[in-house]
């Protein structure tokens, strides 16, 4: 995030029952990118739980999601934010 180079991160929760339909993204053990995610259990990527984090606070990486999932999440968040900006 400008101007400091912080990262915008979203929460990940195993409390899948808290999912916001058409916004949050479930990540299930049967998904192709689940093992690469480094998660221990099926989880929910919470687009409504955002924060900025300084690079100095990042201790490492446990895993990643597929480029397709990442793009889908960015598109969904961008669409939501664009909708907030409309009069």
pLDDT per residue over 23-43, tens digit each? Answer: 999 999 999 999 999 999 999
pTM for the full predicted model: 0.89
pLDDT in tens, 48-62: 999 999 999 999 999
Buried/exposed code over 73-82 (b: 16+ C-beta within 10 A; e: otherwise): beeebeeeee
Give phi and psi for 45, each to the nearest 5.
-85, 115
């Amino acid at each position: 995030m400008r101007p400091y180079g912080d990262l915008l991160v979203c929460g990940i929760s195993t409390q899948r029952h808290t999912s916001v339909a058409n916004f949050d993204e479930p990540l299930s053990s049967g998904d192709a990118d689940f093992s690469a995610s480094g998660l221990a259990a099926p989880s929910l990527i919470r687009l409504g739980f955002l924060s900025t984090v300084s690079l100095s606070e990042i201790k490492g990486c446990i895993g990643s999601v597929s480029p397709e999932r990442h793009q889908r999440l960015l598109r969904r968040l961008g669409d939501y934010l664009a909708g907030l900006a409309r009069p």
